[in-house]
């Protein structure tokens, strides 16, 4: 296979990966970005490096933060996939088998249809395969053993790709010392600085998958595919047609597997959430007109968009899920409270928005912080006049890349009521927020909405949500009465 064809095929692969994120999962990377907060501080770096795979995780979070700008994140992720593919090609070392370098990256692309897969797995595999390529050119058991021990600390158990590559390639007992070094690194880590983690997590990777106690079969399959370079020297030179057929099979298999792995319901929830985040109300409604919401969470986003776009009278035209489709009760996970927090914020129910935002951040499965929700908490504390707490959040955000300018700008509102009064959004929210304390009780949301409106008749959003809540609650009661009547009749 000529170098020109190799370069062209890698470029085509990179474009395909970009289109995958841009067309099929346009909001997935933004969702990953909002579930982390990369900070340019020494303490943040030390925290990441305190567990195995820390360097891979640190690099992955660095790249993930750029998904704050969706297209930029998609381009960078595509480049990381190409870097992985080229690393595998270097480890293969035989240009006639260049086509095999696309197997592992294609499987990984299919695997990342799962939103729980972290970018750190891609980074770790790339580093491990690069070590294989380096060993191919400069073999040496001593440096390989040292690299394996350090590698487990820096990139996690993906280092086993390299630890297995060496003995498969060398085919002697001495090379098994590299694999033994990897196993020893795992054992020592488990009994020293990783004592709090179960064996399954220590062996499979702490930050490769958001659900740390789960080891998906696809993770094992991708890792196995990354070992293909260890066996290519045993293959005879292929015919041109063999490469063509293999290439077509890899491409077709990737497309088919991606389509089978595509979880429409999950994609829709993420899409609604990201569109609400960026206040793209027309985008929410266009999506809802094409794909009616299939869950309460999606309905919350659609109904908020209806009001914000001045199309509140079209509520009956969209699929509803009762009152829970207007505002969800507090659900402690990392997505369910998102749209409801946005509703509370705009209604002037600042404390409820703060609580939902806080619970969302603290429910992140891998214990990360969130730039999106920390920003919202800072805004809520500013409106509540709790400036010391707001300042703490702003101090943290000021060490990030994309939230820094916003955080520095928000400092003007600290202990400055005049500045808050000059901000049209803050001034309005302070005027319509609850003026007295009361016990929040979700089943009586209609009463709380009525109180909001009677406190300030300019709060037309509270009036609209009260009317919608009352109508949907009546429908729920009618449906229950009809169901009960039919049950007795039968």
- Tell me: pLDDT of 482 over 70: no
- Tell me: pLDDT of 92 over 50: yes
| pLDDT digit string, tens, across residues 167-188 | 999 988 899 999 999 999 999 9
Per DSSP, the three-state class of 117 is strand
Of 94-98, 113-117, 154-158, 398-402, give the lowest mean pLDDT range: 94-98
Q: Tally Cβ neighbours within 10 Å of residue 58.
A: 19
- Residue 259 CA to residue 385 CA, distance in Å, equals 50
Average of pLDDT values for 100-119?
93
- Residue 57 CA to residue 123 CA, distance in Å, equals 8
β-pair partners for 323: 321
Cβ contacts of 460 within 8 Å, gap of 6 or more: none
284 in Cβ contact with 338 (< 8 Å): no
Q: What single-letter DSSP state applies at residue 162?
A: H
327 in Cβ contact with 344 (< 8 Å): yes
pLDDT of residue 480: 52
Of 246-260, 301-315, 383-397, 453-467, give the lowest mean pLDDT range: 246-260
Kindly indicate the confidence band of residue 488, based on its pLDDT and cuts at 50, 70 and 90.
very low
pLDDT of residue 89: 93
Phi, psi angle pair for 278, to nearest 5°: -95, 10
Of 39-48, 110-119, 245-254, 478-487, give the lowest mean pLDDT range: 478-487
Kindly indicate the confidence band of residue 132, based on its pLDDT and cuts at 50, 70 and 90.
very high
Complete DSSP assignment for 314-375: GGGGS--BTBTTTSPPP--SSSTTHHHHHHHHHHT-HHHHHHHHHHHHHT-TT----HHHHH
Q: What single-letter DSSP state applies at residue 209?
A: B
- 438: which 2 tokens? 């009361």
pTM of the model: 0.92
Burial class (CB in 10 A: 0-12, 13-18, 19+), 105: buried
- Tell me: pLDDT of 262 over 60: yes
Query: Which residue in the block uniquely carries the two structure tokens 């920390």?
Result: 374
302 in Cβ contact with 318 (< 8 Å): yes
| pLDDT digit string, tens, across residues 402-412 | 999 999 999 99
- Residue 477 CA to residue 409 CA, distance in Å, equals 48
Nearest partner of 190 among 199, 181, 180, judged by Cα: 199
Q: How many CA atoms lie within 13 A of 78 on its CB side?
A: 21
- Residue 72 CA to residue 283 CA, distance in Å, equals 20
Nearest partner of 58 among 68, 44, 69, 70, judged by Cα: 44
Cβ contacts of 226 within 8 Å, gap of 6 or more: 88, 104, 125, 128, 129, 158, 161
Nearest partner of 343 among 291, 393, 382, 307, judged by Cα: 307
- Residue 132 CA to residue 227 CA, distance in Å, equals 9
Q: What percent of the chain has pLDDT over 70?
A: 97
Nearest partner of 384 among 349, 360, 410, judged by Cα: 349
Burial class (CB in 10 A: 0-12, 13-18, 19+), 110: buried
- 324: which 2 tokens? 């829970």
Q: How far is CA 12 from the centre of its chain?
A: 26
β-pair partners for 321: 323
| pLDDT digit string, tens, across residues 20-30 | 999 888 899 99
Q: What single-letter DSSP state applies at residue 205?
A: -
- Tell me: pLDDT of 360 over 90: yes
- 413: which 2 tokens? 């509102």
Burial 344-365 (b: 16+ CB within 10 A, else e): bbbbbbbebbbbbbbbbbebbe
Q: What single-letter DSSP state applies at residue 101?
A: G
| pLDDT digit string, tens, across residues 424-465 | 999 999 999 987 777 788 999 999 999 999 999 999 999 999
- Tell me: pLDDT of 256 over 90: no
Average of pLDDT values for 49-58?
95
- 269: which 2 tokens? 């929830």
- Tell me: pLDDT of 485 over 80: no
């Amino acid at each position: 296979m000529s170098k020109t064809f190799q370069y062209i095929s890698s470029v085509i692969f990179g474009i395909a990966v970009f289109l995958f994120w841009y067309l099929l999962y346009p909001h997935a990377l933004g969702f990953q970005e909002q579930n982390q907060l990369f900070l340019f501080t020494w303490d943040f770096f030390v925290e990441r490096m305190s567990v195995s795979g820390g360097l891979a995780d640190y690099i992955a979070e660095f790249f993930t933060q750029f998904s704050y700008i969706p297209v930029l994140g998609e381009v960078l992720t595509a480049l990381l996939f190409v870097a992985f593919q080229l690393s595998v090609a270097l480890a293969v070392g035989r240009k006639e088998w260049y086509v095999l370098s696309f197997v592992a990256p294609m499987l990984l692309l299919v695997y990342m249809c799962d939103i729980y897969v972290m970018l750190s797995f891609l980074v770790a595999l790339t580093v491990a395969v690069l070590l294989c390529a380096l060993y191919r050119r400069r073999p040496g058991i001593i440096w390989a053993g040292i690299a394996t021990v350090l590698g487990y600390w820096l990139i996690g158990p993906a280092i086993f790709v390299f630890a297995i590559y060496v003995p498969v390639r060398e085919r002697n007992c001495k090379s098994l010392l590299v694999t033994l070094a990897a196993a020893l690194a795992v054992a020592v880590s488990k009994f020293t600085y990783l004592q709090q983690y179960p064996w399954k997590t220590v062996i499979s990777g702490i930050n490769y998958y958001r659900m740390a106690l789960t080891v998906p079969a696809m993770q094992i399959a991708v890792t196995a595919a990354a070992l293909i370079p260890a066996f290519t020297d045993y293959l005879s030179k292929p015919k041109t047609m063999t490469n063509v057929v293999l290439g077509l099979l890899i491409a077709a298999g990737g497309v088919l597997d991606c389509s089978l792995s595509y979880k429409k319901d999950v994609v829709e929830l993420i899409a609604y959430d990201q569109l609400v985040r960026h206040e793209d109300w027309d985008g929410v409604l266009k999506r809802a007109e094409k794909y009616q919401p299939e869950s309460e969470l999606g309905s919350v986003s659609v109904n908020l968009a209806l009001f914000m776009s001045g199309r509140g009278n079209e509520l009956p035209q969209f699929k509803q899920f009762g009152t829970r489709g207007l505002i969800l009760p507090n659900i402690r996970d990392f997505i369910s409270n998102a749209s409801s927090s946005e509703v509370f914020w705009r209604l002037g129910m600042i404390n409820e928005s703060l609580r939902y935002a806080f619970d969302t951040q603290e429910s992140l499965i891998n214990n990360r912080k969130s730039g999106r929700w920390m920003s919202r908490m800072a805004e809520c504390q500013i409106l509540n006049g709790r400036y010391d707490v707001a300042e703490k959040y702003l101090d943290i955000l000021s060490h990030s890349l994309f939230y820094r300018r916003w955080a520095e700008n928000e400092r003007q509102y600290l202990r400055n009521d005049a500045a808050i009064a000059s901000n049209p959004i803050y001034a309005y929210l302070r005027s319509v927020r609850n003026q007295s304390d009361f016990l929040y009780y979700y089943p009586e949301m209609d009463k709380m909405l009525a109180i909001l409106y009677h406190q300030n008749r300019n709060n037309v959003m509270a009036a609209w949500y009260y009317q919608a809540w009352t109508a949907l609650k009546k429908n729920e009661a009618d449906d229950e009465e009809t169901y009960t009547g039919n049950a007795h009749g039968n």
